[in-house]
Amino acid sequence: MAGMNVLAACLLIAAQTYSIPPAVLLGIYQVEGGRVGQEVGPNKNGSYDLGPMQINTIWLEELAGEWGVPTATARKWVRDDPCTNVGVSAWILRRNLDETGDLAKSIAHYHSRTPTIGGAYRRKVVGSMQRHGLLKTD
Model confidence pLDDT, tens digit, residues 103-115: 999 999 999 999 9
> HSE-up of 68 (CA within 13 Å, CB side)?
0
The pLDDT of 2-11, averaged and rounded, is: 83
For residue 55, the cross-strand partners are 50
CA distance 2 to 17: 23
Buried b (16+ CB within 10 A) or exposed e, 6-45: ebbebbeebbeebebebbbbbbbbbbbebeeebbeeeeee
> Does 23 score more than 80 pLDDT?
yes
- pLDDT given for residue 84 in this prediction: 97
Peptide bond into 52 cis (omega under 30): no
CA distance 110 to 138: 26
φ and ψ at 114, to 5 degrees? -75, 115
- pLDDT given for residue 138 in this prediction: 59
Across all residues in the chain, what is the average pLDDT?
Answer: 94
> Does 136 score more than 90 pLDDT?
no
User: What contacts 91, CB < 8 A, 6 or more positions away?
Assistant: 14, 18
Enumerate the H helices of 19-53 as residue ranges: 22-32
> Does 4 score more than 90 pLDDT?
no
This prediction has a pTM of 0.93
Q: Which fold has domain 2-131?
A: Lysozyme (1.10.530)
Yes or no: say if 24 and 110 are a contact pair by the CB < 8 Å rule: no
Q: What is the CA radius of gyration of the chain?
A: 14
